[in-house]
Amino acid sequence: MDIFDKCHKFTRAKEAIAAGIYPYFQQIQSGPGSEVIINGKSMIMIGSNNYLGLTGHPKVIEAGISAIRKYGTGCTGSRFLNGTLDIHEELEKRLARFLNREAVLCFSTGHHVNQGCISTLVGKKDIVFTDRADHASIVDGTRLTFGKIVKYKHNDMEDLCRALKHYENHSAGKMIVTDGVFSMEGDIVNLPGLVKLANQFNARVYVDDAHSVGVLGKHGRGTGEHFGLEDQIDLQMGTFSKSFASLGGFVAGDEDVIHYIKHHARSLIFTASAPPASVATVLAALDIIESEPERIEQLRKITQKMKRGYDSLGFDTGKSETPIIPIKIGKEEDCLMFWKLLFDNGIFANPSISPAVPPGEAIIRTSYMATHTEDELNQILEIFARLGKQFGIIP
C-alpha cells in the first residue's frame, strides 16, 4: 500500500469540475458584502456568515489599517511568548465586560478554541457529551481528549438524559458541549432542557456560540442571553470571523478556568497569535455592536421575512430560527445542479452535501446579513421559487 493511494482514487471533485457543477473555492474579487464580484459579475451573497454586515464598515476598515501602521502585519510568535500585544488584552477585557464574564481568552481561530479548550479540560477519566450535529471543530477537540466521548441525538434532551443517566454513578468529571446555533440546520439548542439535565447530573456546560454572538439576545450576547440563562453556561466560546467581521476566537468563563486553559491549551501556546489588524477590527466591530443594536433587530426582521417567504413557497427549511436557513434538496446531484442554476442566476449560496449533512439530505445553506436590501431579498425568493418548481421541490 502507498499512503498516497487514496489521493489517486479521489475523483469526486474532478468529476464535478468536469460536469461544470463544482461549487467550491470560488474566486471572489471583492469584499464580502451583500453583493460580491465573481468572474467580473455582480452576485447577491447569501453564503456568508457576515451577519451584521460589518466587514465593509468604514470604522472597521480604518481600525485595521491603523493597527498595521502602529504594530506591523504580524506578531511572529504565540500569545504564550512574544505574541501578546496590549490590544489582545484590551480586547479580552472588553469582551469580558460585554459578555458579563469574569475572564476571556482570545485564540487565533475559533477552531483553535474548541480544539484547545476541550482537549485541555477533558482528561482520561472524564466524559464529554456532544450533540451529533456539533461543529467539526468540536469533533476535533473531542478526538484530542483522552476521555470518553458520548454522542446524543441532535437537540434531543431525552437522548441526552439517557446518556447522562447511563454514567450517573461514574465518578468522572462530565461536560456537555453543544453549538448554540447549529451551523447547518440553523436551529437553536434547547438550552433550558440541557441546563436542567446538567444540573441534575452534575455536568458542566460548554456552548459554542460561533453563530450566536451578534445574532441572539437583545444585545447580541448569544444563546444564554436569548434564553435568560447566561449564568448557567460554564464556558462560552465564539469566533471573530462572523459577526465580528475578522478572524480569531475566544472563550469566556470563570477566571480560574480561563487561567488554566491559558497555560495548558496547546492550540494557544503553539500557534502564532492573531495579527494586529484582526484584533483591532474586532474591537471596532464590538464598538458598533454595542452602539448600534438596531443592526441586530434588522437582522431579525430579515430572518423572519426570508423564513416566512421560503415556507410559504413550500420549501422545507427545517427548524431554523436564525439567519441560517437551510433549503432541503435531497440528492447530492440535485443539490449541485440547483446550486449551479442559482449561481447562473446571480445568487451565491452554499451547497452542503455529505459528510457535512447526512447522505441523501443535501441542502442549500442560505444565510443573511443585516445589510441585505429589500430588493435583494425579493429577488432571491423569486429565483428560488422558479427553480424550486423547475426541480419539483415545491408545488
Cell numbers given for 52: 451584521
Q: How far apart are CA 164 and CA 170, in angstroms?
A: 10
pLDDT in tens, 327-383: 999 999 999 999 999 999 999 999 999 888 889 999 999 999 999 999 999 999 999
Q: How far apart are CA 59 and CA 47, in angstroms?
A: 24
Q: How far apart are CA 72 and CA 288, in angstroms?
A: 24
Q: What is the largest CA-CA distance in the chain?
A: 62
Measured CA distances, 269 to 78, 198, 262 (Å) = 6, 30, 8
pLDDT in tens, 100-151: 999 999 999 999 999 999 999 999 999 999 999 999 999 999 999 999 999 9
Cell numbers given for 301: 426582521
Measured CA distances, 247 to 111, 114, 140, 277, 310 (Å) = 11, 15, 19, 9, 31
Measured CA distances, 288 to 41, 79, 95, 242, 243 (Å) = 31, 26, 13, 14, 11
Category of 53 on φ-ψ map: left (φ > 0), alpha (ψ -120 to 50) or beta:
left
Cell numbers given for 101: 464574564
* Sheet hosting strand 347-348, strand order edge to edge: 35-38, 41-45, 347-348
Residue 241, C-beta contacts closer than 8 angstroms, at least 6 positions apart: 49, 109, 110, 247, 248, 249
pLDDT in tens, 225-280: 999 999 999 999 999 999 999 999 999 999 999 999 999 999 999 999 999 999 99
pTM above 0.85, yes or no: yes
Question: Which domains are delineated in the chain?
Answer: 20-51+293-390 (3.90.1150.10), 58-291 (3.40.640.10)
How confident is the model at residue 32, as a pLDDT? Answer: 84
Beta bridge partners of 353: none
Please answer whether residues 222 and 207 qualify as being in contact, where contact means their C-beta atoms are separated by less than 8 angstroms. yes
Please answer whether residues 218 and 228 qualify as being in contact, where contact means their C-beta atoms are separated by less than 8 angstroms. no
Among 56, 44, 50, which residue's Cα sits nearest to residue 378? 44
DSSP 11: -
Among 259, 203, 270, which residue's Cα sits nearest to residue 232? 203
